[in-house]
Chains A and B, each alone.
Chain A
Amino acid sequence: MKKPTITRRKFLQSGTLTATAALALVTSGAGLKAQTWTLSTVELTKHEAATLLAACRQFYPHDGLGDLYYAVCVESLDGKAAADKGVSSTLKEGVKTLDGHFSMAFVDLSDGNQLEAIKAMDGTAFFGAVRGDIVVSLYNNPLVWRHFGYEGPSFDDGGYLDRGFDDIGWLRQN
């Protein structure tokens, strides 16, 4: 597991915190107050980032997960966009299409209408790029694993041999 690179001290000095850094901070056990992080993007505008944040939640809607975890996905997409102009234009054009579906900003749409606008993009490069990225960046996050009850790496704890590998108690035996 990669160790978080940001320290609490750095966080306090910098004043603002990206979702990715916030996540690293939480992972480090340093703690984080609600709403102290900001979705921070380099290549994407605030509006594009906000639109993708809402879209990410439509793709994989888990009520038990706060926006922080979806914001990490948007920052991952932003990183790719910053490194690749093709990805950048795919994302920017995609946001325009989402906004145009009902002639209303996607972020202002109802849940059902957001879903419809995304469904309409199935099969496009935008749809594939976003879904393909976030299915990894969302679910490959150790903090998200807790939500699913997945305990992850076990070697450092001696495996599950003495930690419940066979502890199921509810099965009827006949």
Chain B
Amino acid sequence: MAKFDLSDDSVVVVIGSGAGGGTLGNELAQKGVKVVCLEAGKRLDWQSDFVNDEWTMFGKTAWLDARTTSGDWRVAKDFSGLPAWICKTVGGSTLHWAGASLRIQEHEFAALSNYGAVDGANLMDWPLTLKDLEPYYDKAEDKMGVTRTNGIPGLPGNNNFKVMEAGAKRLGYKNVHSGRMAINSEARDGRASCLQLGFCFQGCRTGAKWSTLYTEVPKAEATGNYELRPEAHVLKVEHDKNGKVSGVLYADKNGAQHIQKARVVCVAGNSIESPRLLLNSASNMFSDGLGNSSGQVGRNYMRHMTGSVYATFDKPVNMHRGTTMAGIITDESRHDTSRGFVGGYEMETLSLGVPFMAAFLNPGAWGSEFAADMDEYNHMAGMWLVGEDMPRESNRITLNSDVKDQYGLPAPNVHFDDHDNDMAMRNHAFKQGSAVYEAAGATKTIETPPYPSTHNLGTNRMSAKASDGVVNKWGQSHDIDNLFVSDGSVFTTGASENPTLTIVTLAIRQADYIAEQMGKSNI
């Protein structure tokens, strides 16, 4: 592994090592670009630190720094200090992601054109199209080993999938399969084949699921162009008198502060920390925060329309056995306003173990009805509903000066109000999800409200015009040429698909652009 000097101003600093930052850093290092990756979390060893235990792994991986919430979303009431369930570790949220890898659809990239303006929503077309991204989607799918692409077979369906599939087919759904998953259905790229452990959210103990922790990061280190500094929490992005970013201030694991000089800075801290960092980097020259001349930094926070349906059956299902999310119905992910809303949603298998089921089935619930539902645990099947939510300027990350983090910096407040479209879609999805299970013979269906957000999007949105957003179609700041954003916060709209594949795709594409621009000495 390379080691770069703090004063080395020829390096690209990448903040974060998850799907976006981890991929970008490796892609740059492969091209010979020198990269320092600053990761706030620890480096876990997947072979010794990962255990099949929900709360233990939550404690080891979750981002638990101070955060506050507001708005009418139920998460603000049920989990007021935990708006999002994302990871603070090397590998970021690729440790706990489920592996679902779907391309955003053509019509979703042009949401405003296709849906029309929606009251109370800030819809916009992406400054790029599916066609622009297709070659990069190809590369991402190959890199991640996505099943049902590149000749990779689908994963075998588990019990939970078989229940969903039986109901879906009886209901007339056509597009039902075990998913496009970045989980090996056969050994590939030095990683093992899935053993159906059932703890996809707890860090994959076999390494069958793609995570930057044991793919991108070690591959980058092997180039000799890449230095990873774990437990390096970036506090501020600094700039010079010409308004170019010049380095970053970070705290190491002992709390000692350092400045790493940089030629280029790429922010990939997920959609809460990335805008927070830009806002916390305000200076005399950029009094509203870095890259924020549009005032859009932190706005248009999206978290996907989500919800879950669990159903109980007379006979056992044992949904906990096997891959958590290897099962999908895509029929509802179309744009069809006859359903009473714009955009669409996916239906994906989901299971939780007893510890998390108790906490999330109906947060705050207690008493005999709840206990009776829990008693049905091994007779339950479950699905997650994930769809496009509306970007709203008022749904945003702001700095909460009343609450400070461990470094004395204002904590992020996450404000979210459900849009009517989100509620209409969730209502439809609850009905359809229940109908699937009823068609399979369910004795009872349970509608579960959204969990803390795992899909955090949109707070540094990509736009064609500088006045409409934070970054251009390359993820480059409209205001500062050598400042980039490299995570899901660049999403212009949310689309209905799980976002990781697109984050990786954009990072691969961005690496080409950054290397090219550096080569031309434009940055």
Which chain A residues have a beta carbon within 8 Å of chain B's beta carbons? 1, 58-62, 64, 115, 131, 135-136, 138-140, 144-145, 148-155, 158-161, 163-168, 170-174
Contacts and interface: CB of A to CB of B under 8 A. Distances in A.
B206 interface: yes
Contacts of A170: 315
A135 B359 contact: yes
B53 interface: yes
B contact face: mostly helix, strand, loop, or mixed: loop
B55 interface: yes
A6 B353 CA distance: 27
A62 B374 contact: yes
Given A145-B354, A149-B377, A150-B354, A158 B371 contact: no
A165 B366 CA distance: 30
Contacts of A149: 316, 318, 377-379
Given A136-B355, A161-B196, A171 B440 contact: yes
22 contacts: A60-B370, A60-B371, A61-B368, A64-B375, A136-B358, A136-B359, A140-B54, A153-B53, A154-B321, A155-B197, A155-B205, A159-B197, A159-B322, A160-B196, A161-B194, A165-B158, A166-B157, A166-B162, A167-B318, A171-B162, A171-B440, A173-B166
Contacts of A60: 358, 366, 370-371, 374
Interface in B348-397: 353-355, 357-359, 364, 366-368, 370-371, 374-375, 377-379
B52 A154 contact: yes
Interface in B429-459: 440-441
Contacts of B196: 154, 159-161, 165
Given A59-B366, A164-B321, A168-B163, A154 B375 contact: no
Given A165-B158, A173-B166, A152 B353 contact: yes
Contacts of A145: 353-354
A170 B354 CA distance: 23
Interface in B50-101: 51-55
Given A139-B374, A167-B159, 6 more contacts: A61-B367, A131-B364, A139-B358, A149-B378, A165-B321, A166-B156
Contacts of B321: 151, 154, 160, 163-165
Nearest to A171: B166
A173 B170 CA distance: 9
Interface of B: 51-55, 156-159, 162-163, 166, 169-170, 194-199, 205-206, 315-318, 320-322, 353-355, 357-359, 364, 366-368, 370-371, 374-375, 377-379, 440-441
Nearest to A130: B366
Nearest to B378: A149
A157 to B, nearest CB: 9
B355 A154 contact: no
A138 B379 CA distance: 20
Contact of A164 (B53, B195, B318, B367): B318
A62 B375 CA distance: 8
Contacts of A1: 51, 53
Given A151-B320, A166-B159, A171-B163, A159 B198 contact: yes
Nearest to A167: B159
Contacts of A131: 364, 366
Contact of B206 (A61, A159, A168): A159
B162 A144 contact: no
Contacts of A152: 52-53, 353
Contacts of B368: 61
B181 to A, nearest CB: 15
Nearest to A168: B159
Contact of A166 (B199, B322, B357): B322
Nearest to B358: A139
Contacts of A158: 195
Nearest to B52: A153
B198 A160 contact: yes
Contacts of B320: 150-151
Contacts of A148: 354, 374-375, 377-378
A72 to B, nearest CB: 14
Contact of A154 (B198, B317, B364, B378): B198
B206 A155 contact: yes
A173 B199 CA distance: 28
Nearest to A139: B358
Contacts of A140: 54-55, 355
A155 B192 CA distance: 13
B15 to A, nearest CB: 32
Nearest to A151: B320
Given A153-B51, A155-B205, A155-B206, A61 B371 contact: yes
A168 B197 contact: no
Contacts of A61: 367-368, 371
A138 B159 contact: no
Contact of B354 (A115, A139, A163, A173): A139
A59 B367 contact: yes
A164 B206 CA distance: 18
B161 to A, nearest CB: 8
A96 to B, nearest CB: 21
A144 B357 CA distance: 13
Contacts of B357: 139
Given A61-B367, A61-B371, A165-B159, A135 B358 contact: yes
Contacts of B206: 155, 159
Contacts of A173: 166
Contact of B377 (A58, A150, A167, A172): A150
Given A135-B358, A148-B377, A165-B322, A174 B195 contact: no
B311 to A, nearest CB: 13
B440 to A, nearest CB: 7
The 3 closest A-B pairs by CB, nearest first: A149-B378, A159-B195, A153-B52
